[in-house]
Amino acid sequence: PLTPSVSPEAGREGKACPREGIILPGAPAPQTGPSFGRVSNSLPKGPDRPTPQVHPSDQDDSLVQRAEHIPAGKRTPMCGQCNMVIRGPYLVAMGKSWHKEEFTCSHCHSSLADVGFVEERGSVYCERCYEQFLAPACFKCQQKILGEVINALKQTWHVYCFLCTGCQQPIRNNTFHLEDGQPYCETDYYTLFGTSCHGCDFPIEAGDKFLEALGFTWHDTCFVCTVCSTSLEGQTFFSKKDKPLCKKHAHTVQF
Ligand SMILES: [Zn+2]
Ligand SMILES: [Zn+2]
Ligand SMILES: [Zn+2]
Ligand SMILES: [Zn+2]
Ligand SMILES: [Zn+2]
Ligand SMILES: [Zn+2]
Protein backbone atom coordinates (compact mmCIF):
# COMPACT_ATOMS: atom_id res chain seq x y z
CA PRO A 1 0.00 0.00 0.00
CA LEU A 2 1.18 3.45 -0.79
CA THR A 3 0.74 6.07 1.85
CA PRO A 4 1.89 9.58 1.21
CA SER A 5 4.86 10.48 3.34
CA VAL A 6 6.27 13.92 3.91
CA SER A 7 9.94 14.55 3.57
CA PRO A 8 11.45 17.19 5.85
CA GLU A 9 12.38 19.53 3.04
CA ALA A 10 9.07 19.35 1.27
CA GLY A 11 6.26 21.77 1.70
CA ARG A 12 8.26 24.83 2.47
CA GLU A 13 7.88 26.65 -0.77
CA GLY A 14 4.71 28.50 0.14
CA LYS A 15 5.98 31.29 2.36
CA ALA A 16 3.55 33.48 4.17
CA CYS A 17 3.61 36.94 2.66
CA PRO A 18 3.76 39.68 5.28
CA ARG A 19 1.36 42.46 4.47
CA GLU A 20 2.49 44.70 7.22
CA GLY A 21 5.33 46.89 6.18
CA ILE A 22 6.75 50.25 6.94
CA ILE A 23 4.32 52.91 6.03
CA LEU A 24 6.22 55.66 4.32
CA PRO A 25 5.10 59.20 4.88
CA GLY A 26 2.86 60.32 2.06
CA ALA A 27 2.12 56.83 0.88
CA PRO A 28 -1.50 55.89 0.66
CA ALA A 29 -2.82 54.24 3.75
CA PRO A 30 -2.80 50.46 3.47
CA GLN A 31 -6.09 49.13 2.32
CA THR A 32 -7.95 47.01 4.72
CA GLY A 33 -8.36 43.51 3.54
CA PRO A 34 -7.04 40.06 4.06
CA SER A 35 -3.66 40.08 5.61
CA PHE A 36 -2.89 36.43 5.53
CA GLY A 37 -1.34 34.29 2.96
CA ARG A 38 -3.47 31.75 1.24
CA VAL A 39 -3.90 28.82 3.51
CA SER A 40 -3.54 26.32 0.72
CA ASN A 41 0.03 27.42 0.15
CA SER A 42 1.11 26.59 3.63
CA LEU A 43 -0.10 23.02 3.69
CA PRO A 44 2.75 20.56 3.65
CA LYS A 45 3.03 18.91 0.31
CA GLY A 46 4.10 15.32 -0.04
CA PRO A 47 6.92 14.29 -2.33
CA ASP A 48 5.92 14.59 -5.93
CA ARG A 49 5.52 10.96 -6.74
CA PRO A 50 3.49 9.72 -9.66
CA THR A 51 0.55 7.60 -8.71
CA PRO A 52 0.69 3.96 -9.69
CA GLN A 53 -0.55 3.52 -13.21
CA VAL A 54 -2.39 0.51 -14.42
CA HIS A 55 -1.26 -0.84 -17.75
CA PRO A 56 -4.02 0.42 -20.03
CA SER A 57 -5.03 -2.96 -21.32
CA ASP A 58 -4.43 -4.96 -18.16
CA GLN A 59 -7.17 -3.95 -15.79
CA ASP A 60 -6.38 -6.79 -13.42
CA ASP A 61 -2.73 -5.89 -13.30
CA SER A 62 -1.27 -6.97 -10.02
CA LEU A 63 2.30 -7.51 -11.10
CA VAL A 64 3.63 -3.98 -11.25
CA GLN A 65 4.61 -2.60 -7.88
CA ARG A 66 6.17 0.63 -6.75
CA ALA A 67 8.74 1.35 -4.08
CA GLU A 68 7.72 3.55 -1.20
CA HIS A 69 9.97 6.46 -0.36
CA ILE A 70 10.73 6.81 3.33
CA PRO A 71 12.31 10.04 4.56
CA ALA A 72 15.29 10.03 6.86
CA GLY A 73 14.24 9.37 10.42
CA LYS A 74 15.36 7.66 13.55
CA ARG A 75 15.23 4.23 11.96
CA THR A 76 18.37 2.90 10.34
CA PRO A 77 17.24 -0.26 8.56
CA MET A 78 19.46 -2.73 6.78
CA CYS A 79 19.64 -2.54 2.99
CA GLY A 80 18.25 -5.59 1.24
CA GLN A 81 20.92 -5.29 -1.43
CA CYS A 82 24.21 -4.55 0.35
CA ASN A 83 23.24 -5.52 3.91
CA MET A 84 24.60 -2.25 5.25
CA VAL A 85 22.80 0.08 7.58
CA ILE A 86 20.91 2.80 5.74
CA ARG A 87 21.21 6.35 7.03
CA GLY A 88 19.06 8.95 5.41
CA PRO A 89 16.07 8.46 3.16
CA TYR A 90 15.48 5.01 1.79
CA LEU A 91 13.04 2.89 -0.15
CA VAL A 92 10.71 0.19 1.03
CA ALA A 93 9.70 -2.48 -1.45
CA MET A 94 8.76 -6.15 -1.17
CA GLY A 95 8.85 -5.82 2.60
CA LYS A 96 12.51 -4.80 2.67
CA SER A 97 14.42 -1.54 2.84
CA TRP A 98 16.85 -0.45 0.17
CA HIS A 99 19.43 2.23 -0.50
CA LYS A 100 17.71 4.37 -3.09
CA GLU A 101 20.56 4.08 -5.57
CA GLU A 102 20.78 0.31 -5.17
CA PHE A 103 17.20 -0.52 -5.97
CA THR A 104 17.70 -1.18 -9.67
CA CYS A 105 16.51 -3.48 -12.44
CA SER A 106 18.30 -6.85 -12.33
CA HIS A 107 18.69 -6.75 -16.08
CA CYS A 108 19.42 -3.20 -17.25
CA HIS A 109 20.30 -1.72 -13.84
CA SER A 110 18.09 1.33 -14.33
CA SER A 111 16.76 2.90 -11.15
CA LEU A 112 13.45 1.56 -9.89
CA ALA A 113 13.05 4.24 -7.23
CA ASP A 114 10.33 6.10 -9.06
CA VAL A 115 9.00 3.70 -11.65
CA GLY A 116 6.95 0.55 -11.57
CA PHE A 117 8.81 -2.71 -11.18
CA VAL A 118 7.96 -6.39 -11.36
CA GLU A 119 9.21 -9.02 -8.97
CA GLU A 120 10.07 -12.39 -10.46
CA ARG A 121 11.66 -15.17 -8.44
CA GLY A 122 13.26 -12.82 -5.95
CA SER A 123 14.66 -10.44 -8.56
CA VAL A 124 13.22 -7.10 -9.61
CA TYR A 125 12.92 -5.82 -13.14
CA CYS A 126 11.81 -2.62 -14.75
CA GLU A 127 8.59 -3.03 -16.72
CA ARG A 128 10.47 -2.76 -19.99
CA CYS A 129 12.84 -5.62 -19.21
CA TYR A 130 10.11 -7.72 -17.67
CA GLU A 131 7.97 -7.34 -20.74
CA GLN A 132 10.86 -8.04 -23.06
CA PHE A 133 12.54 -10.94 -21.33
CA LEU A 134 10.28 -12.50 -18.75
CA ALA A 135 6.60 -11.98 -19.41
CA PRO A 136 4.87 -14.88 -21.12
CA ALA A 137 3.42 -14.20 -24.55
CA CYS A 138 -0.26 -14.49 -25.32
CA PHE A 139 -1.06 -17.32 -27.71
CA LYS A 140 -3.73 -15.29 -29.46
CA CYS A 141 -2.29 -11.80 -29.89
CA GLN A 142 1.38 -12.67 -29.41
CA GLN A 143 1.77 -9.69 -27.08
CA LYS A 144 3.45 -10.05 -23.71
CA ILE A 145 1.18 -10.57 -20.74
CA LEU A 146 1.80 -8.12 -17.94
CA GLY A 147 -1.34 -8.80 -15.96
CA GLU A 148 -3.29 -11.88 -15.06
CA VAL A 149 -2.25 -14.92 -17.06
CA ILE A 150 -4.78 -17.49 -18.17
CA ASN A 151 -3.33 -20.96 -18.60
CA ALA A 152 -5.53 -23.01 -20.88
CA LEU A 153 -5.09 -25.49 -23.73
CA LYS A 154 -1.38 -25.68 -22.87
CA GLN A 155 -0.96 -22.01 -23.76
CA THR A 156 -0.88 -18.67 -21.97
CA TRP A 157 -3.45 -15.99 -22.71
CA HIS A 158 -4.50 -12.51 -21.75
CA VAL A 159 -7.77 -12.55 -19.85
CA TYR A 160 -9.31 -10.63 -22.73
CA CYS A 161 -7.87 -12.96 -25.36
CA PHE A 162 -9.24 -16.24 -24.08
CA LEU A 163 -12.87 -15.85 -25.00
CA CYS A 164 -15.93 -18.01 -25.39
CA THR A 165 -16.47 -18.59 -29.10
CA GLY A 166 -20.18 -18.09 -28.56
CA CYS A 167 -20.62 -15.00 -26.40
CA GLN A 168 -17.10 -13.56 -26.80
CA GLN A 169 -16.81 -13.04 -23.05
CA PRO A 170 -13.60 -13.87 -21.14
CA ILE A 171 -13.80 -17.41 -19.78
CA ARG A 172 -11.28 -16.59 -17.05
CA ASN A 173 -11.02 -19.56 -14.72
CA ASN A 174 -14.48 -20.91 -15.37
CA THR A 175 -15.21 -24.30 -16.81
CA PHE A 176 -15.27 -24.40 -20.56
CA HIS A 177 -15.81 -26.98 -23.29
CA LEU A 178 -14.14 -27.48 -26.61
CA GLU A 179 -15.97 -27.93 -29.86
CA ASP A 180 -13.85 -28.18 -32.99
CA GLY A 181 -10.94 -26.95 -30.91
CA GLN A 182 -12.78 -23.76 -29.96
CA PRO A 183 -13.56 -22.96 -26.34
CA TYR A 184 -17.12 -22.28 -25.21
CA CYS A 185 -18.44 -21.20 -21.84
CA GLU A 186 -20.68 -23.76 -20.18
CA THR A 187 -23.88 -21.88 -20.89
CA ASP A 188 -23.18 -21.49 -24.57
CA TYR A 189 -21.87 -24.99 -24.93
CA TYR A 190 -25.05 -26.54 -23.66
CA THR A 191 -27.22 -24.12 -25.57
CA LEU A 192 -25.38 -24.86 -28.79
CA PHE A 193 -24.26 -28.45 -28.44
CA GLY A 194 -26.31 -29.89 -25.62
CA THR A 195 -28.60 -31.82 -27.92
CA SER A 196 -27.35 -34.29 -30.45
CA CYS A 197 -29.26 -35.84 -33.30
CA HIS A 198 -30.54 -39.36 -32.70
CA GLY A 199 -29.94 -40.13 -36.33
CA CYS A 200 -26.32 -39.07 -36.86
CA ASP A 201 -25.15 -38.39 -33.29
CA PHE A 202 -23.75 -35.01 -34.30
CA PRO A 203 -24.82 -31.97 -32.29
CA ILE A 204 -27.79 -29.95 -33.35
CA GLU A 205 -26.34 -26.49 -33.55
CA ALA A 206 -27.97 -23.12 -33.46
CA GLY A 207 -29.62 -22.53 -36.83
CA ASP A 208 -29.96 -26.20 -37.70
CA LYS A 209 -33.44 -27.43 -38.69
CA PHE A 210 -34.56 -30.16 -36.38
CA LEU A 211 -37.65 -32.04 -35.29
CA GLU A 212 -38.81 -34.05 -32.33
CA ALA A 213 -40.02 -37.57 -32.84
CA LEU A 214 -40.05 -40.83 -30.91
CA GLY A 215 -38.84 -38.95 -27.88
CA PHE A 216 -35.64 -37.81 -29.61
CA THR A 217 -34.36 -34.83 -31.48
CA TRP A 218 -33.33 -35.23 -35.12
CA HIS A 219 -31.85 -33.11 -37.86
CA ASP A 220 -34.68 -32.75 -40.35
CA THR A 221 -32.49 -34.50 -42.88
CA CYS A 222 -31.73 -37.34 -40.50
CA PHE A 223 -35.32 -38.32 -39.80
CA VAL A 224 -35.61 -40.89 -42.58
CA CYS A 225 -36.75 -44.42 -43.01
CA THR A 226 -34.13 -46.75 -41.63
CA VAL A 227 -34.48 -49.02 -44.63
CA CYS A 228 -34.91 -46.79 -47.68
CA SER A 229 -33.84 -43.41 -46.34
CA THR A 230 -37.02 -41.72 -47.54
CA SER A 231 -37.56 -38.50 -45.66
CA LEU A 232 -40.25 -38.91 -43.06
CA GLU A 233 -40.53 -35.26 -42.22
CA GLY A 234 -44.19 -34.38 -42.20
CA GLN A 235 -45.10 -37.96 -43.19
CA THR A 236 -46.94 -40.65 -41.40
CA PHE A 237 -44.27 -42.92 -40.06
CA PHE A 238 -43.88 -46.05 -38.05
CA SER A 239 -41.21 -47.23 -35.74
CA LYS A 240 -39.64 -50.30 -34.35
CA LYS A 241 -37.20 -50.11 -31.47
CA ASP A 242 -36.92 -46.30 -31.85
CA LYS A 243 -36.04 -46.64 -35.54
CA PRO A 244 -38.27 -44.71 -37.91
CA LEU A 245 -39.72 -46.54 -40.86
CA CYS A 246 -41.82 -45.50 -43.81
CA LYS A 247 -45.25 -47.01 -44.30
CA LYS A 248 -43.94 -49.41 -46.91
CA HIS A 249 -41.26 -50.86 -44.68
CA ALA A 250 -43.09 -50.69 -41.38
CA HIS A 251 -44.18 -54.28 -41.46
CA THR A 252 -41.49 -55.89 -43.53
CA VAL A 253 -38.55 -55.42 -41.30
CA GLN A 254 -37.40 -57.57 -38.45
CA PHE A 255 -34.82 -56.00 -36.18
ZN1 LIG B 1 22.58 -0.86 0.11
ZN1 LIG C 1 15.45 -3.12 -16.92
ZN1 LIG D 1 -3.54 -11.52 -25.95
ZN1 LIG E 1 -20.20 -17.98 -23.90
ZN1 LIG F 1 -28.47 -35.88 -37.71
ZN1 LIG G 1 -38.63 -47.13 -46.15
Cα(14) to centroid(ligand 1), Å: 34
Q: Examine the fold and report which residue of 134, 161, 177 is the final residue of a domain before the chain moves on.
A: 134
Cα(237) to centroid(ligand 5), Å: 17
What's at 180, amino acid-wise?
A: D
Domain shared by 205 and 187, yes or no: no
CA-closest candidate to residue 192, choices 201, 176, 203, 180: 203
Q: Is residue 251 part of a domain?
A: yes
Cα(154) to centroid(ligand 4), Å: 20
Closest ligand to 142 CA?
3
Q: Domain range spanning residue 97?
A: 64-134
* Backbone angle region of 99, left / alpha / beta, with phi > 0 → left and psi within -120 to 50 → alpha: beta
Cα(65) to centroid(ligand 2), Å: 14
Cα(129) to centroid(ligand 2), Å: 4
Number of other CB atoms surrounding residue 162 within 10 Å: 22
Q: Is residue 5 part of a domain?
A: no
- pLDDT number for residue 62: 65
Cα(119) to centroid(ligand 6), Å: 72
Cα(179) to centroid(ligand 5), Å: 17
Angstrom distance (rounded) from CA 130 to CA 144: 9
Cα(124) to centroid(ligand 5), Å: 58
Closest ligand to 184 CA?
4
User: pLDDT tens per residue, the chain (255 residues)?
Assistant: 333 333 333 333 333 333 333 333 443 444 333 333 333 333 333 444 444 433 344 444 568 899 999 998 888 899 999 999 999 999 999 999 999 999 999 999 999 999 999 998 889 999 999 988 889 999 999 999 988 899 999 999 999 999 999 999 999 989 898 988 999 998 888 778 778 899 998 888 767 899 999 988 899 999 999 999 999 998 889 998 889 999 999 887 666
Domain shared by 70 and 126, yes or no: yes
Cα(193) to centroid(ligand 6), Å: 29
- pLDDT number for residue 92: 96
Q: Is residue 73 part of a domain?
A: yes
Q: Is residue 249 part of a domain?
A: yes
Number of other CB atoms surrounding residue 149 within 10 Å: 16
Domain shared by 99 and 112, yes or no: yes
Number of other CB atoms surrounding residue 116 within 10 Å: 20
- pLDDT number for residue 83: 95
Cα(147) to centroid(ligand 4), Å: 22
Using a CB cutoff of 5 Å, list residues around ligand 2, an ion. 105, 107-108, 126, 129
Domain count, the chain: 3
- pLDDT number for residue 253: 66
Cα(142) to centroid(ligand 3), Å: 6
Closest ligand to 222 CA?
5
Domain shared by 209 and 230, yes or no: yes
Domain shared by 209 and 253, yes or no: yes
Residues across the chain? 255
CA dihedral (152, 154, 158, 163) in degrees, to 10, reads: -50
- pLDDT number for residue 207: 79
Please give the model's pTM, rounded to 2 decimal places.
0.44
Angstrom distance (rounded) from CA 149 to CA 16: 53
Q: What is the CATH number of the domain that holds 219?
A: 2.10.110.10
Q: Is residue 162 part of a domain?
A: yes
Q: Is residue 44 part of a domain?
A: no
Domain shared by 199 and 255, yes or no: yes
- pLDDT number for residue 255: 61
Using a CB cutoff of 5 Å, list residues around ligand 4, an ion. 164, 166-167, 185, 188
Angstrom distance (rounded) from CA 208 to CA 156: 34
Domain shared by 83 and 111, yes or no: yes
Domain shared by 245 and 218, yes or no: yes
- pLDDT number for residue 57: 43
Q: Is residue 35 part of a domain?
A: no
Q: Is residue 104 part of a domain?
A: yes
Domain shared by 117 and 72, yes or no: yes
Cα(51) to centroid(ligand 3), Å: 26
CA dihedral (155, 156, 159, 165) in degrees, to 10, reads: -20
